[in-house]
């Protein structure tokens, strides 16, 4: 059992769960205390020691029966419950469909007699469809369909209606016919479940035995390629990055309080002392930036925008003020929820209230809405930050408004996830926006995003 538990833990790790060696040992100790006889206590001991977050519970519940479930099918012998007359009618109905049933005779006999597949038969089915070469759990449904098709289960399910109709015509009573149909369908479902359990258990076992692949640092994984499990890890990483950037920004602020030695101001200040520098003057340059964020929330940009908003608002104490807007086909002001709620809750609410849809990105229209309703927010201290790929679905990019923002504000910065070689391709207006912006940062990974935000904070 200990080896089985080790394989189970390895499979959970292969599925993306973070389980430390200490937690694995805790699971062993917990099972040692609860024992194996009480199945519920055994499962609770494993879950309480291995699972740290609610989001990981479905993964645990999915893999647990594959390692510790009952692989035997729950089947009943239908023939033992039938009278001799009913068995004769069944034989007659089967004889009338001899040609159609020929290839399925063994499977029908198995379903009638309540006999599950043997381990050898399941192994043969699996090898016939290439199950030993499977490596990931997403392949399970594909292998199941092929194994069931090879065993003849879908074909027999289709033929079952014809067989029951034949029995009705031969005079079998309606109640007996209904009972036979229910029992046959339950047995076929059990046989299907046996195949499903075998395919899942084998894939899980192969995942546990495989050497874990070397995973790249999440900071360097392109944001568009993050999987569901990695997204949660990145959300946790954003908070750690924010703490690191906050410490760095606070250190810059402390250094800025003393500032650099200013000879001109020092000489002027000390003229009353005959030029003797009794009062040294320093030059204080660093100021907290005022940000105006305009973020493309289309499908390709959603996760990147989520991380940017979370990161910026985690660092709100390092920013003078922030006004935030999102857009797809038009502009939406999201400053209020970001000011009222903790960053992670606020961003989750924004994503929920602004789902992706069938509307097309239109930055030009969004800029027009900003000009009409929010242009008063821009002053000489404002850093206007666009986050998007510059793809505008062949709509008017409204470069005139972008140029006006650049003139009125302190600077216009663009965070773009696409490399330069893709600018101008298809519906991309990025080359035109690049000519307007004071600076364009390539932001395709979390590390690049954090570095770009830090650069803006450093040059307040």
The CATH number of the domain where 235 resides is what? 3.40.50.410
Q: What is the length of the chain?
A: 460
239 and 194, same domain (yes or no):
no
157 and 242, same domain (yes or no):
no
pTM: 0.54
Structural domain containing residue 428 = 228-261+287-458
234 and 342, same domain (yes or no):
yes
| 273 belongs to a structural domain | no
57 and 86, same domain (yes or no):
no
Exposed (0-12), middle (13-18) or buried (19+): which is 387, by Cβ within 10 Å? buried
108 and 6, same domain (yes or no):
no
Q: What 3-state DSSP class applies to 29?
A: helix
In a structure prediction context, what are the per-residue pLDDT tens digits for the chain, which is 460 residues long?
Answer: 678 888 888 888 887 788 888 888 888 888 888 877 788 888 888 888 888 888 888 888 888 888 887 655 555 666 566 666 666 666 655 655 545 555 567 777 777 777 788 888 888 888 888 888 887 888 888 888 888 888 888 877 777 777 777 777 777 777 777 877 788 788 888 888 888 888 888 888 888 887 766 666 778 888 777 766 677 778 778 888 888 877 776 666 665 555 667 778 877 888 887 777 767 766 665 567 789 999 998 887 888 888 888 888 887 777 788 899 999 889 999 998 888 888 888 888 998 888 876 667 889 999 999 999 999 999 998 999 999 999 888 999 999 999 999 999 999 999 999 999 999 888 899 999 999 999 999 998 888 988 988 888 877 5
Number of domains in the chain: 3
| 324 belongs to a structural domain | yes
Q: What is d(CA 297, CA 119) in angstroms, rounded to the nearest whole number?
A: 52
291 and 254, same domain (yes or no):
yes
| 13 belongs to a structural domain | yes
Contacts from 370-375 at CB under 8 Å and sequence distance 24+?
Answer: 370/294, 370/325, 370/331, 370/401, 371/401, 371/404, 373/331, 374/323, 374/325, 374/331, 374/333, 375/404, 375/408
195 and 330, same domain (yes or no):
no
198 and 317, same domain (yes or no):
no
Contact, 286 vs 253, CB < 8 A?
A: yes
114 and 240, same domain (yes or no):
no
361 and 240, same domain (yes or no):
yes
Terminal CA-CA length for the chain? 60
132 and 28, same domain (yes or no):
no
> Residue 353: which H helix or E strand, with range?
helix 343-353
Angle made by CA atoms 430, 231, 446, in degrees to the nearest 5: 45
């Amino acid at each position: 059992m200990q080896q089985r538990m080790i394989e189970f833990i390895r499979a959970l790790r292969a599925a993306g769960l973070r389980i430390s060696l200490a937690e694995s040992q805790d699971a062993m100790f917990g099972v040692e205390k609860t024992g194996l006889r009480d199945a519920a206590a055994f499962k609770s001991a494993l879950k309480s020691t291995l699972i740290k977050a609610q989001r990981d519970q479905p993964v645990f519940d999915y893999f647990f029966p594959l390692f510790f479930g009952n692989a035997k099918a729950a089947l009943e012998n239908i023939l033992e419950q039938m009278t001799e007359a009913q068995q004769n009618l069944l034989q007659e109905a089967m004889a009338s469909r001899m040609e159609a049933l020929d290839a399925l005779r063994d499977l029908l006999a198995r379903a009638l007699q309540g006999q599950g597949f043997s381990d050898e038969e399941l192994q043969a089915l699996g090898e016939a469809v290439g199950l030993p070469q499977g490596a990931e759990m997403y392949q399970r449904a594909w292998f199941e369909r092929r194994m069931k098709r090879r065993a003849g289960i879908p074909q027999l399910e289709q033929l079952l209606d014809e067989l029951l109709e034949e029995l009705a015509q031969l005079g079998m009573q309606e109640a007996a016919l209904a009972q036979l149909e229910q029992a046959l369908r339950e047995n076929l479902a059990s046989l299907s479940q046996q195949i499903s359990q075998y395919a899942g258990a084998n894939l899980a076992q192969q995942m546990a035995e495989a050497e874990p692949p070397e995973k790249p640092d999440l900071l360097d994984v392109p944001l568009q390629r993050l999987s569901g499990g990695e997204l949660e890890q990145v959300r946790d990483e954003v908070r750690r990055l924010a703490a690191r950037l906050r410490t760095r920004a606070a250190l810059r602020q402390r250094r800025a309080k003393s500032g650099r030695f200013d000879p001109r101001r020092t000489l002027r200040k000390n003229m009353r002392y005959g030029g003797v520098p009794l009062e040294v003057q320093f030059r204080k340059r660093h100021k907290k930036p005022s940000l105006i964020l305009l973020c493309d929330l289309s499908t390709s940009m959603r996760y990147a925008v989520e991380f940017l908003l979370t990161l910026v608002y985690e660092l709100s104490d390092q920013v003078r003020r922030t006004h935030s807007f999102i857009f797809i086909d038009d502009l939406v002001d999201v400053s209020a929820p970001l000011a009222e709620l903790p960053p992670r809750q606020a961003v989750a609410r924004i994503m929920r209230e602004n789902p992706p849809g069938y509307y097309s990105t239109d930055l030009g229209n969004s800029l027009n809405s900003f000009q009409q309703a929010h242009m008063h927010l821009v002053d000489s201290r404002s850093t206007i930050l666009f986050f998007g790929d510059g793809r505008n679905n062949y709509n008017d990019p409204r470069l005139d408004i972008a140029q006006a923002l650049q003139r009125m504000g302190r600077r216009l910065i663009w965070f773009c996830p696409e490399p330069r070689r893709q600018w101008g391709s298809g519906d991309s207006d990025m080359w035109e926006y690049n000519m307007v912006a004071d600076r364009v940062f390539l932001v395709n990974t979390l590390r690049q995003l954090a570095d770009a935000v830090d650069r803006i904070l450093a040059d307040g």
